[in-house]
Amino acid sequence: MDALPPSTGSCHAGRETMLSAARSAGKSAVLERLASDYPQGPHDQPQSMCPAFGSLRVGLRMRRVATILCGSACCVYGLTFTSHFYGARRTVGYVPFNSETLVRGQLYEDIRDAVYALAKPADLDAIVVINLCVPTASGVPLDRLPKQIDGVRVIGIDVPGFGVPTHAEAKDVLAGAMLRFARLEAEQGPVARPRGASDLPTVALLGEIFPADPPGIGAMLAPMGLALAPPTPAREWRDLYGALDCAVVGAVHPFYTASIREFAAAGRPIVGSGPVGLEGTEAWLETIGLAANISFEQRDAARAKALPAIRAALEANPIRNRITLSGYEGSELLTARLLVEAGAEVPYVGTACPKTEWAQADLDWLESRGTHVQFRASLEQDTQAMLEVKPDLAVGTTPLVQKAKELGIPALYYTNMVSARPLFGAAGAGSLAAIVAAQIGSAPRFARMVSFFQGVGTEATAGYGTTGVPTEPAGFRDRQRKMRAAKVKSESAVGT
Ligand code: SF4
């Protein structure tokens, strides 16, 4: 194993340095696969939380699965903190390293020992090991770990911030790796039956969705004689077999490229979009029904059952405002469709996720209604759109919401407020209007706050008790300039 050179051995080394170290350490194939699955956008580095959180979260939410991180202590601290902030209630495993164990290759041995110590078939179905930035750049070869130890599967994945642009796509890195493992197992012979498996043909939903949504979607599918398969990301190992055994995949989150590859390899048809709003639900039920070879009568019965309730919910909860929407969950286009169907004007949607063919139907629908959709949107693009459009409500990420509130624009945090509500069917159609109205109703309060705090705590007056422009110590800049010049001179003298 070629370790990251000591002079660059940290995640502060910069993206290009990390990439070139990873390539020379034998990770070229991994990086090429990541680059093709998750193409970079205008911003080539994550602008939200550490991407590896997505993989970690998927591992931690599965029963009888242990998840081990391998990375710098500061990264692991942040990821562990965030996991527990979001209620993981599970142990996050950690194999630490130092410069010596990294450079000598001892780290791989330490990971291997940890995996062997943990692999108790009475407790676990699988162990997930996640390489963070520095071990990936150093070429720690997780692919050399044993595939199984006493029946406990071992899945090693590289999830570097310089290769996976968002934490949403990192969910797919692990989900796809697990589906691949399960698919190859199923191809070898009989596998465990998922709990509560249906005898009906099933639809496997792809993407983390609000827990109340699947029962509603299941009810919409029932008239077609279809049931729901276990969702992906899975909650239990045997659920992976159930998902792979589906009649059709509903890629409600369209960026799960690696997972879709596995479903396609299993011969399953894939359908994009989701049952959102009236037109969205009608189109989705039709496409799913056709993909599953359901008769016209049954498709018609499904429409007749689902659509009146959605129409009534939309009519009872109209939204008559201008709204911009941005996020990194992957459901932004679906949410925008629902807002537009409820009557909102949505001139801009930004998503940190990439454009894939499974997003095309939603993209076409939104563009035909005058919405500009920005894939791989950067915070700067989202902010600029909000400034230009001057919406009644900005739905977005934390920094965007902060900026909006500074300007007195009512704003909603997408992850906690919007994606934590039902989105699909009649429940979704009725859920958004209330929070939109409540937040827009607070516009006068925002205006009062802006005028009250005008000029306080900004620019030179930022910080407690600072009221004027701070004065610079005499000669400070000059001394610093001379020190820098002397350092450059001394370094060039020894030829470093
Ligand atoms: S693993 Fe990489 S992206 Fe994640 S916190 Fe560490 S340096 Fe940042």
Q: Give residue-wise pLDDT tens across range 353-397.
A: 999 999 999 999 999 999 999 999 999 999 999 999 999 999 999
Residue 427: predicted pLDDT: 92
Higher pLDDT, 121 or 436: 121
Mean pLDDT on 69-79? 94
Closest CA relative to residue 222, chosen from 204, 201, 208: 201
Distance 170 CA to ligand 1 centre (A): 12
Rounded to whole angstroms, the Cα distance separating 288 from 294 reads 9
Closest residue by CA, ligand 1 atom 6? 75
Which pLDDT score, from 0 to 100, does residue 40 have? Answer: 80
Is the pLDDT at 243 greater than 90, yes or no? yes
Nearest CA to ligand 1 atom 3: 161
Residue 149 confidence (pLDDT) = 97
Judge contact between 437 and 349, C-beta under 8 A: no
Task: Give the three-state DSSP class for 36.
Answer: helix
pLDDT of residue 6 exceeding 50: no
Mean pLDDT of 230-237: 95
pLDDT at 49 over 80: yes
52 CB near ligand 1 (under 6 Å): yes
Confidence of residue 470 (pLDDT cuts 50, 70, 90): confident
- Average pLDDT for 450-454: 84
**Nearest Cα residue to atom 8 of ligand 1:** 50
Q: What is the pLDDT of residue 23?
A: 86
Separation of alpha carbons 80 and 96, rounded Å: 14
Q: Closest ligand 1 atom to the C-alpha of 79?
A: 5
Instruction: pLDDT band for 432, please (50, 70, 90 cuts).
Output: confident
Report the atom number in ligand 1 closest to the C-alpha of 50.
Answer: 4
CA of 173 to the centre of ligand 1 (A): 16
Region of poorest pLDDT, from 189-198, 227-236, 240-249, 256-265: 189-198
Residue 11 has pLDDT above 70, yes or no: no
Instruction: State the distance from the centre of ligand 1 to the C-alpha of 84, rounded, in angstroms.
Output: 18
Please provide the distance, in angstroms rounded to a whole number, between the alpha carbons at the two ends of the chain.
Answer: 26
pLDDT in the model for residue 96: 93
Q: In this model, does residue 10 exceed pLDDT 70?
A: no
76 lines ligand 1 (CB under 6 A): no
Task: Choose which residue among 45, 47, 57, 75 to substitute to test ligand 1 binding: the one with the highest number of ligand atoms within 8 A of its C-beta.
Answer: 75
Whether the ω angle into residue 233 lies within 30 degrees of 0, i.e. cis, is: yes
Decide: 71 in ligand 1 pocket, CB within 6 A: yes
Tell me the average pLDDT across 323-341: 94
Q: How many whole angstroms from 315 Cα to the centroid of ligand 1?
A: 46
CA 392 / ligand 1 centre spacing (Å): 36
Confidence of residue 494 (pLDDT cuts 50, 70, 90): low
Residue whose CB lies within 8 A of the most ligand 1 atoms, among 47, 56, 72, for a mutation test: 72
Show Cβ contacts of residue 365 under 8 Å, excluding neighbours closer than 6 positions: 279, 280, 337
Kindly report, residue by residue over 162-206, the tens digit of the pLDDT.
Answer: 889 999 999 999 999 999 999 999 999 889 888 878 899 999 999
Binding site membership of 173 for ligand 1 (Cβ less than 6 Å): no
pTM: 0.87
- Helical H runs in 198-348? 213-221, 237-244, 257-265, 277-291, 296-316, 332-341
Asked whether the predicted pLDDT for residue 465 surpasses 80, the reply is no
289 confidence band (pLDDT: 50, 70, 90):
very high
Asked if residue 2 has pLDDT above 50, the reply is: no
Whether 7 has a pLDDT exceeding 70, the answer reads no
The per-residue pLDDT of the chain, averaged, comes to 90
Q: Is the CB of 161 under 6 A from ligand 1?
A: yes
pLDDT of residue 417: 77
Q: CA–CA separation, 353 vs 375, rounded Å?
A: 6
Q: Confirm if 468 and 461 have CB atoms less than 8 A apart.
A: yes
Residues 6+ apart with CB under 8 A from 410: 392, 393, 394, 404, 439, 440, 442, 443, 446
Nearest to 204 by CA among 255, 259, 166, 155: 259
Q: Does the Cβ of 418 fall within 6 Å of ligand 1? A: no
**What's the whole-number mean pLDDT along residues 206-229?**
95
Question: Per residue in 415-431, pLDDT tens?
Answer: 877 878 899 999 998 88
| Minimum-distance ligand 1 atom for the alpha carbon of 160 | 2
Kindly state if the Cβ of 50 falls inside 6 Å of ligand 1: yes
What percentage of the chain has pLDDT greater than the value 70? 95
Contacts of 87 (CB under 8 A, 6+ apart): none
Q: Say what the pLDDT of residue 283 is.
A: 97
Q: What is the pLDDT of residue 13?
A: 63
* Dihedral of alpha carbons 79, 85, 86, 88, sign: positive
Helix or strand run (H / E) with residue 27 = none
Q: How far is the CA of 50 from the centre of ligand 1 (A)?
A: 5
Any atom of ligand 1 within 6 Å of the Cβ of 133: yes
The per-residue pLDDT for range 88-145, each reduced to its tens digit, is: 888 999 999 998 898 888 999 999 999 999 999 999 999 999 999 999 999 999 999 9
